[in-house]
């Protein structure tokens, strides 16, 4: 029996060799054996669509006698089990978990069960398929129809449950190339009020408090949370001295995205602050969301400090970019952190991209007493490279500053290229 090997490489637009594909086969078959990525990047492929598993001389892909792929080492798929219809029934990912499928007698998929072993206890997500209806953990996700799908959005806060219609634009092969939707929604993320009973990680039950809900969105170090009463300069609160404000952030009330029964309430007065300084805890309350072109983002922020002495290089330590980016990775739901990239790698990726105006250099403000302390926002593209951003400096000593404009909100429309917004 004749056996042959065929290798094919292609170059990137920069002229470097990108990926090499190697096929092996006999006179009866033609199967992909290995894919080698020859491009070395600082992020080690963590942001790429394809990640070379660096499997040495071993084959990346193996097959059964029916030609079904039974392993993919680049994706850490160790085994794939098939039924009599050559449909996959169990996929095992090394160090991650499993994906199990069930079918009816005609080969139609009726369920998918994903077991994530990277968390403890293991997280199990079951998706059921029934005549176009798709449920995830017994909650309706969408209803498929010939032109697209109808998505179900459950009740969230004061917003009633609803159905949104999506329409698929397909190519000549039936692949979805674009999704059009009639949905128009506003997503309110909770403010970092820091109020209520804090529950440490691993402790049960978890109190239904504002701060515990906010931990799902912000990187909060509870040791930095302080009461207003512990600050000698805070004094008596009043609207006139800017220190009297409420958890709903004004009128009309905002900050309503909390589960029923959360304590304290949004109409209660604010009592907590997050303490930062120029030495040990330079950054805090990091928050990251995914954005798309056309989205509009409002940012609301407040700050307070008391200082009458000169701020200079000896009493105000510089903040480096790596520390700033480390905060990004620590934000809950950070896509970059989830891919395992380090702050050093992210810093290398952004070499020469983040302007020095974001980082405190030499003081050059003789006699100034305003700290170089800021609320920042940064936009990254899908490779987590800096695209744009800005910052707002703290205001006058002893005053609570509402950042960015007269109503305390920054409003931005997201341009093309941007996929992530990071605030620190």
Domain count, the chain: 2
Domain boundary, last residue among 26, 51, 73: 73
CB contact at 8 A, 262 and 208: yes
Residue 111 forms part of a structural domain: no
Domain boundary, last residue among 73, 101, 130: 73
Q: Could you give phi then psi for residue 75, rounded to 5 degrees?
A: -100, 10
Q: Distance between CA atoms of 30 and 203, rounded to whole angstroms?
A: 55
Q: What is the pLDDT along the chain (424 residues), one digit of tens a residue?
A: 444 455 555 544 434 445 676 766 555 567 888 887 766 555 555 666 667 766 666 788 999 989 899 999 888 899 999 999 999 999 999 999 999 999 999 999 999 999 999 988 999 999 999 999 999 999 999 999 989 999 988 887 667 888 999 999 999 998 999 888 888 777 778 888 899 999 998 888 999 999 999 999 999 999 999 998 888 888 887 766 677 778 876 655 577 778 888 899 888 888 899 998 877 788 888 888 888 777 888 888 888 998 888 887 777 777 778 888 888 888 887 877 777 788 888 888 888 888 776 776 555 677 788 888 888 888 888 888 888 888 888 888 888 888 865 444 455 666 555 455 555 5
Cα–Cα nearest to 358, from 328, 315, 334, 397: 328
Q: Distance between CA atoms of 420 and 292, rounded to whole angstroms?
A: 8
Percent of residues in the chain assigned helix, strand, coil, to nearest 5: 10, 35, 55
Domain boundary, last residue among 42, 73, 104: 73
Characterise 136 by phi-psi region: left (phi > 0), alpha (psi -120 to 50), beta (else): beta
How is residue 256 written in tokens?
């309503």
Residue 4 forms part of a structural domain: yes
Q: Distance between CA atoms of 344 and 327, rounded to whole angstroms?
A: 12
What is the residue range of 21's domain?
1-73
Most distant pair of Cα atoms in the chain: their distance = 91
Residues contacting 124, CB < 8 A, separation 6+: 113, 114, 115, 116
Residue 181 forms part of a structural domain: no
**Half-sphere CA count of 177, side-chain side, radius 13 A:** 6
Residue 95 forms part of a structural domain: no
Residue 333 forms part of a structural domain: yes
Residue 172 forms part of a structural domain: no
Q: CA quadruple 308, 309, 312, 318: dihedral positive or negative? A: negative
Cis, bond preceding 173 (omega within 30 deg of 0): no
Q: For 165, which DSSP code?
A: E
Residues 172, 175, 181, 185, Cα dihedral to 10°: -160
Question: Buried b vs exposed e over 6-26: b needs ≥16 C-beta within 10 Å?
Answer: eeeeeeeeeeeebbeebebee
Q: How would you class 298 by CB atoms within 10 Å of its CB: exposed for 0-12, middle for 13-18, buried for 19 or more?
A: middle
**Half-sphere CA count of 73, side-chain side, radius 13 A:** 17
Characterise 95 by phi-psi region: left (phi > 0), alpha (psi -120 to 50), beta (else): left
Residue 127 forms part of a structural domain: no
Cα–Cα nearest to 318, from 376, 373, 393: 373
Residue 180 forms part of a structural domain: no
Regarding pTM above 0.75, the answer is: no
Residues contacting 2, CB < 8 A, separation 6+: 26, 27
CB contact at 8 A, 353 and 362: no
Q: Could you give phi then psi for residue 409, rounded to 5 degrees?
A: -125, 140
């Amino acid at each position: 029996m004749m056996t042959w090997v065929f290798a094919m490489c292609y170059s990137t637009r920069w002229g470097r060799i990108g990926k090499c594909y190697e096929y092996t086969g006999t006179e009866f078959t033609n199967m992909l054996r290995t894919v080698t990525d020859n491009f070395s990047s600082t992020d080690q492929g963590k942001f790429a669509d394809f990640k070379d598993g660096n499997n040495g001389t071993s084959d990346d892909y193996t097959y059964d006698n029916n030609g079904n792929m039974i392993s993919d080492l680049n994706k850490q798929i160790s085994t794939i089990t098939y039924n009599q219809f050559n449909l996959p029934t169990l996929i095992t990912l090394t160090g991650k978990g499993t994906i199990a499928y069930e079918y009816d007698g005609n080969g139609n998929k009726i369920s998918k069960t994903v077991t994530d072993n990277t968390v403890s206890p293991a997280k199990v997500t079951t998706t059921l398929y029934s005549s176009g209806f798709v449920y995830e953990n017994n909650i309706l996700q969408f209803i498929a129809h010939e032109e697209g799908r109808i998505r179900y959005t459950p009740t969230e806060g004061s917003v009633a449950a609803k159905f949104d219609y999506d329409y698929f634009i397909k190519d000549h092969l039936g692949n979805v190339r674009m999704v059009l939707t009639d949905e128009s929604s506003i997503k309110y993320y909770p403010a970092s009020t820091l109020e209520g009973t804090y529950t440490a990680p691993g402790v049960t039950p978890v109190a239904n408090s504002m701060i515990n809900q906010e931990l799902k969105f912000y990187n909060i170090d509870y040791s930095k949370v302080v009461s207003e009463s512990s600050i000698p300069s805070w004094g008596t609160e009043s609207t006139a001295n800017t220190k009297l404000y409420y958890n709903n952030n004004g009128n009309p009330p905002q900050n309503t995205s909390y589960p029923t029964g959360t304590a304290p309430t949004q109409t209660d007065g604010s009592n907590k602050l997050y303490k930062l300084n120029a030495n040990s805890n330079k950054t805090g309350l990091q928050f990251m969301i995914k954005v798309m072109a056309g989205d509009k983002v409002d940012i609301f922020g407040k700050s307070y400090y008391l200082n009458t002495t000169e701020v200079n290089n000896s009493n105000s330590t510089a903040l480096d970019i790596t520390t700033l980016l480390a905060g990004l990775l620590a934000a809950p739901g950070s896509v970059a952190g989830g891919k395992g990239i380090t702050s050093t790698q992210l810093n290398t990726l952004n070499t020469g991209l983040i302007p020095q105006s974001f980082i405190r250099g030499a003081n050059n403000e003789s006699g100034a007493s305003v700290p170089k302390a800021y609320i920042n926002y940064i936009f990254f593209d899908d490779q987590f490279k800096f695209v744009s951003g800005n910052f707002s400096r703290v205001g006058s000593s002893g005053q609570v500053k509402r950042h960015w404009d007269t109503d305390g909100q920054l409003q931005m429309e997201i341009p093309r290229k941007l996929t992530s917004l990071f605030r620190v």
